[in-house]
């Protein structure tokens, strides 16, 4: 067995392996088939490639890698390739805004007390401004960083974030919007002179697509009475839909069909060479962020309402369908969720008029029961 630096080669079956000890922990790598490394020079070159992938080759330096160094040099570059671009941007933003300034301590110095101190310090720096939901996301991000560090052999022991609790004094989650049908119709009326923005609102309100899914729509995705979700676009990057359940179709109701037809007819007038109306062309040229700020928000103001983001349409269709008598499972299918629990907890809003109607029915039932059987026990 030949030693290479602080590592060693060994053979097993038809494969060549390389191991290196870092801070007392052995890391093993399969380099490939023995026939791929006929000379010692080729083996040494492969070992150097393995060493280059490690954060550092010095055991002393490895022991002193800080939380900030590991996050910036290893975790975020990995996340950029491993997760959706929108998720990566959230990770990076949370780290730079809240964690980076407090991440100078070496990874190996973190236990549950130090991890709790980190969360408490973040909450203190954002006193009165940070919500519980944001802090939960920060805790999940830090937990993912330590989990990845453990996989890379730079952290040992239990994840220090597992037993951490949310700091006190955080703001409760703010209420989320769910646009009613009268609001949707009023906004659509205000957008009669902007058919592209009107079609976007119709897709969001009557099909329940996410913003990135609307941005990724092509004309070939609209097939008569069905609108298929086949891709999403975020920051000009094309991705698969969020989950396997998301990659599905939704019915096209007449109001949505009329809005899409009007938008396409307007494009045909302006598009002599079919550049924007071909089957593989995007339905919407401008980014939804731009149209939301410039056109849709203004239409909401003219109608007497406030635009609180595209997701209000998604929660709105869930609540509207539920109010009309649709089951939560049917709402889940329209929204293309993987779990009905998400639909129930975060999307269906029980409005006051539905509560009042339910209680009125209870009152009527109570009156009818006054003339019914007098035994007050229900067997079963």
Please report the pLDDT score of residue 351 as a whole number: 80
The 3-4 sheet, strands edge to edge: 3-4, 7-12, 15-22, 25-33
Cβ atoms of 17 and 11 within 8 Å: the answer is yes
Instruction: Give first-to-last CA distance, the chain, whole Å.
Output: 76
DSSP for 168-206 reads TTPBPPPPPP---HHHHHHHHHHTTT-HHHHHHHHHHHH
As a dihedral over the C-alpha atoms of residue 28, residue 30, residue 36, residue 40, rounded to 10 degrees, the angle is 0
Q: How far apart are CA 368 and CA 320, in angstroms?
A: 30
Q: Which residues contact 208 (CB under 8 A, 6 or more apart)?
A: 250, 313, 314, 317, 318, 334, 335
Q: Both tokens of residue 87?
A: 């998720």
pLDDT by position in tens, the chain (length 380): 343 445 788 888 888 888 876 544 566 778 888 888 888 888 888 887 777 666 554 444 566 889 999 999 899 999 988 888 889 999 999 999 999 999 999 998 999 999 999 999 999 999 888 999 999 999 999 999 999 999 988 898 899 999 999 999 898 877 788 999 999 999 999 999 999 999 999 999 999 999 999 999 999 999 999 999 999 998 888 889 988 999 999 999 999 999 999 999 998 888 766 666 677 889 998 899 999 999 999 999 999 999 999 999 999 999 999 999 999 999 999 999 999 999 998 898 888 787 888 888 888 888 887 766 665 555 54
Q: Return the structure tokens found at 353.
A: 């008029």
Handedness of CA 319, 202, 220, 214 (dihedral sign): negative
pLDDT of residue 53: 64
User: Could you tell me how many residues make up the chain?
Assistant: 380
Exposure of 165 by Cβ count < 10 A (0-12 exposed, 13-18 middle, 19+ buried)?
exposed
Closest CA to 195 of 81, 118, 286, 111: 286
Whole-angstrom distance, CA of residue 342 vs CA of residue 339: 6
DSSP-based helix, strand, coil % in the chain, nearest 5: 55, 10, 35
**For helices 195-207 and 181-190, angle between their N-to-C axes, nearest 10 degrees:** 170
Contact assessment for residue 322 and residue 211, using Cβ atoms and an 8 Å cutoff: no
Taking the domains of the chain in order of start, what are their residue ranges? 3-54, 67-151, 181-352
Residue 51 near residue 40, CB atoms below 8 Å: no
| Range 13-18, long-range pairs (CB < 8 A, 24+ positions) | 16/43, 16/46, 18/46, 18/47, 18/50
Give me the numbers of helices (H) and strands (E) for the chain, helices first please.
Answer: 17, 9
Q: What is the pTM of this model?
A: 0.69
What's the CATH fold of domain 181-352?
hpI Integrase; Chain A (1.10.443)
Three-state SS letters, 107-162: HHHCCHHHHHHHHHHHHHHCCCCCEHHHHHHHHHHHHHHHHHHHHCCCCCCCCCCC
Report the pLDDT value the prediction gives residue 1, as an integer from 0 to 100: 37
In angstroms, what CA-CA distances link 163 with 29, 68, 118? 33, 21, 13
Cα 259 → chain centroid: 29
Q: Write the pLDDT tens digit of every residue in 128-179.
A: 889 999 999 999 999 999 999 999 888 988 999 999 999 998 988 777 889 9
Q: E strands, the chain, where?
A: 3-4, 7-12, 15-22, 25-33, 222-223, 226-228, 232-234, 237-239, 249-251
State the pLDDT at residue 26: 62
What was the pLDDT predicted at 66? 92
């Amino acid at each position: 067995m030949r030693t290479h630096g602080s590592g060693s080669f060994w053979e097993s079956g038809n494969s060549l392996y390389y191991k290196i000890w870092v801070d007392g922990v052995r890391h093993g790598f399969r380099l490939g088939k023995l026939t791929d490394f006929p000379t010692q020079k080729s083996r040494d070159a492969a070992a150097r490639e393995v060493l280059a992938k490690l954060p550092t080759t010095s055991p002393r330096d490895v022991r002193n890698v800080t939380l900030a160094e590991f996050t910036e040099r290893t975790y975020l570059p990995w996340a950029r390739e491993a997760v959706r671009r929108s998720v990566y941007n959230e990770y990076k933003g949370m780290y730079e805004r809240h964690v980076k300034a407090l991440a100078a301590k070496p990874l190996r110095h973190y236990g549950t007390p130090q991890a709790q101190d980190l969360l408490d310090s973040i909450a203190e720096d954002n006193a009165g401004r940070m919500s519980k939901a944001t802090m939960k996301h920060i805790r999940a991000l830090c937990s993912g960083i330590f989990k990845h560090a453990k996989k890379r052999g730079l952290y040992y022991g239990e994840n220090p974030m597992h037993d951490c609790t949310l700091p006190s004094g955080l703001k409760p989650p703010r209420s989320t919007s769910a646009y009613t049908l009268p609001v949707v119709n009023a906004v659509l009326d205000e957008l009669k002179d902007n058919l592209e923005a009107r079609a976007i609102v119709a897709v969001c309100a009557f099909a329940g697509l996410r913003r990135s899914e609307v941005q990724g729509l092509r004309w070939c995705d609209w097939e008569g009475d069905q609108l298929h979700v086949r891709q999403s676009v975020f920051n000009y990057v094309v991705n698969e839909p969020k989950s396997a359940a998301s990659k599905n179709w939704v019915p096209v109701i007449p109001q949505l069909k009329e809005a899409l037809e009007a938008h396409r007819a307007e494009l045909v007038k302006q598009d002599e060479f079919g550049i924007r109306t071909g089957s593989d062309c995007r339905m919407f040229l401008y980014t939804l962020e731009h149209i939301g700020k410039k056109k849709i928000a203004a239409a909401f103001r003219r109608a007497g309402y406030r635009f609180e983001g595209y997701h209000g349409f998604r929660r709105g269709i869930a609540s509207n369908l539920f109010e009309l008598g649709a089951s939560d499972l049917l709402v889940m299918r329209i929204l293309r969720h993987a779990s009905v629990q998400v639909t129930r907890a975060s999307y269906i809003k029980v409005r006051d008029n539905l509560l009042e109607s339910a209680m009125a029915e209870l009152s009527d039932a109570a009156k009818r029961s006054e003339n019914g059987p007098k035994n007050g026990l229900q067997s079963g």
